[in-house]
Amino acid sequence: MVELRKDVEFIGPVVTGFTPQGYKVGDQRFEQGLLISPEQALGWTGAGLDRLDLGEILSNLNLSPKPEFILLGSGASMLQPPAAFRREVEAAGMGLEVMDSRAAARTWGVLRAEERWIIGAFLPLA
């Protein structure tokens, strides 16, 4: 397992490492995908990049006010989600940043240290 250093203090969950297939948030392991908000971290089976469901992501995280954007980890490599998902996110008034899941998990900590009001949806690593 890879551990990440936490150099700054902020409120809310932060990804502290990676497992062979998933993530570590604090002392909790998620051996699959991960949904994360400034308030909570949840295991996520993730329907796969081609079947992303914005409604499911938002209802699971139940964040108010609505996040600025979604940080999408597309799995082991950087792949773009379907155009329909991008349009759905845009229609909801949010932005979308896509990168491979490891990079997204590391970026999560940087953005939360800046107190950005975002959510993360990170597909499994394997």
| Distance, CA of 107 to chain centre | 10
pLDDT confidence of residue 124: 93
Q: What is the pLDDT of residue 41?
A: 97
With a pLDDT cut of 70, the percent of the chain lying above it is 92
CATH number of the domain where residue 104 is located: 3.40.1230.10
Note the maximum CA span of the chain.
Answer: 38
Confidence of residue 122 (pLDDT cuts 50, 70, 90): very high
d(CA 81, CA 35): 16
In the chain, count H helices and then E strands.
Answer: 3, 9
Q: Is the pLDDT of residue 7 over 60?
A: no
Angstrom distances, CA of residue 38 to CA of 11, 70, 116 = 7, 12, 9
Task: Give pTM, 2 decimals.
Answer: 0.91
Which range marks the domain in which residue 40 is found?
2-122
Q: What pLDDT, on a 0 to 100 scale, did the predictor assign at position 4? A: 52
For residue 53, the tally of other CB atoms under 10 A from its CB is 14
**Which residue, among 55, 66, 22, 21, has the nearest Cα to 41 in the 3D structure?**
22
* Domains held by the chain: number: 1
Is the model's pLDDT at 8 over the cut of 60?
no
| pLDDT digit string, tens, across residues 83-93 | 999 999 999 99
- Look at residues 56, 48, 70 and name the one whose alpha carbon lies nearest to residue 118: 70
